[in-house]
């Protein structure tokens, strides 16, 4: 299969890098790092083994890229309005676009931009950071869960997962709604709280008061998922996410990194949309609504 990576940052660079390292046909779209990676390659420092990829296929425009069988979109959702112009050169009739992005409601809006394109959700459970031009630091985890949104071709979905697994990626298939809401159980409390409390995830867990807040927010997400009829998201899962975070290395959320670097925060899909969707099913999320309001205030004052 031929892969395209749109957004060669911490997540796209890591998963695309693993595919290229395994000899897959991978094509990377870069922006500010284009000239650096073209000359120096892509470097991944990983708990699972460091590697450098020289002479990889890099581009500064999708118009120069070939059509691909699988496209990973790993850029921030704040830039999704650009996808209608960016993606068409990469697509043939059967291309699968995997949106490795945070939040709920992402696929619905991208589908409206690109009717007929086969979409899947990609949920990355990983601690990884871009620490310099063409330089990715992978600290922990590294699992990618994929939920079909509009592909509908089970054989093709299985073939994609099998190919990525054979290349060394830790990939599994999950139900679409379950996947999105499960990721929200971690994302909604930790992303926003690291920003408003100006700390990392370990700092939130190590303090009894903020750990209690995190637990309460997680259970609010569980309640919203249940109200929306999503199965497989329960209190025991939330507690597993707490335990997973407790054993992670010191890690700042992606939203905290965006805020610290003056970038727009992904408030729409991480907060506004799930809160709105839950309300449509008669479930209110007061704690997370307050957190979202704080983030909107901080985002507007940067």
> Could you tell me the pLDDT band of residue 302, with boundaries at 50, 70 and 90?
low
Tokens of 223: 């309640």
In this predicted model, what pLDDT tens digit does every residue of 110-123 receive, in sequence order? 999 999 999 999 99
In this predicted model, what pLDDT tens digit does every residue of 15-46 receive, in sequence order? 999 999 999 999 999 999 999 999 999 999 99
Q: Which positions ≥6 away from 277 have C-beta within 8 Å?
A: 104, 105, 224, 228
For residue 79, pLDDT over 80 is answered with yes
Burial class (CB in 10 A: 0-12, 13-18, 19+), 194: buried
Q: pLDDT above 70 covers what percent of the chain?
A: 100
Of 177, 160, 190, 161, nearest to 251 by C-alpha is 190
At 122 the pLDDT is: 96
Q: Are 253 and 194 in contact (CB under 8 A)?
A: yes
Residue 256 catalytic? no
Q: Are 186 and 27 in contact (CB under 8 A)?
A: no
For residue 301, pLDDT over 80 is answered with no
For residue 248, pLDDT over 90 is answered with no
Catalytic residue among 21, 130, 183, 256: 183
For residue 265, pLDDT over 80 is answered with yes
At 249 the pLDDT is: 83
Q: Are 127 and 257 in contact (CB under 8 A)?
A: no
* Measured distance CA(211)–CA(91) in Å, rounded: 44
């Amino acid at each position: 299969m031929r892969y395209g990576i749109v957004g060669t940052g911490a997540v796209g660079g890591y998963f695309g890098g693993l595919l290229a390292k395994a000899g897959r046909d991978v094509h990377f779209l870069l922006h500010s790092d284009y000239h650096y990676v073209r000359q120096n390659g892509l470097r991944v420092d990983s708990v699972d083994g460091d590697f450098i990829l020289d002479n990889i296929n890099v581009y500064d425009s999708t118009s120069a890229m070939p059509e691909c069988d699988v496209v990973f979109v790993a850029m921030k959702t704040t830039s999704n309005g650009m996808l209608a112009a960016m993606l068409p050169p990469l697509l043939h009739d059967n291309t699968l676009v995997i949106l490795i992005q945070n939040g709920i409601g992402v696929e619905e809006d991208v589908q409206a931009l690109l009717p007929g394109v086969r979409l899947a959700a990609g949920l990355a459970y990983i601690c990884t950071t871009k620490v310099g031009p063409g330089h990715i630091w992978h600290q922990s985890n590294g699992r990618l869960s994929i939920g079909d949104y509009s592909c509908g071709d089970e054989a093709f979905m299985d073939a994609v997962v099998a190919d990525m697994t054979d290349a060394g990626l830790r990939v599994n298939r999950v139900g679409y709604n379950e996947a999105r809401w499960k990721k929200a159980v971690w994302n909604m409390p930790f992303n926003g709280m690291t920003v408003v409390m100006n700390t990392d995830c370990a700092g939130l867990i190590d303090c009894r008061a903020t750990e209690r807040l995190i637990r309460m927010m997680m259970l609010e997400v569980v309640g919203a998922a249940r109200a929306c009829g999503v199965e497989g998201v329960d209190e025991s899962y939330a507690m597993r996410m707490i335990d997973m975070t407790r054993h992670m290395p010191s890690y700042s959320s992606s939203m905290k990194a965006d805020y610290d670097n003056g970038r727009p925060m992904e408030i729409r899909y991480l907060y506004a949309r799930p809160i709105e969707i839950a309300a449509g099913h008669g479930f209110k999320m007061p704690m997370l609504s307050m957190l979202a309001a704080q983030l909107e205030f901080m985002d507007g004052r940067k």
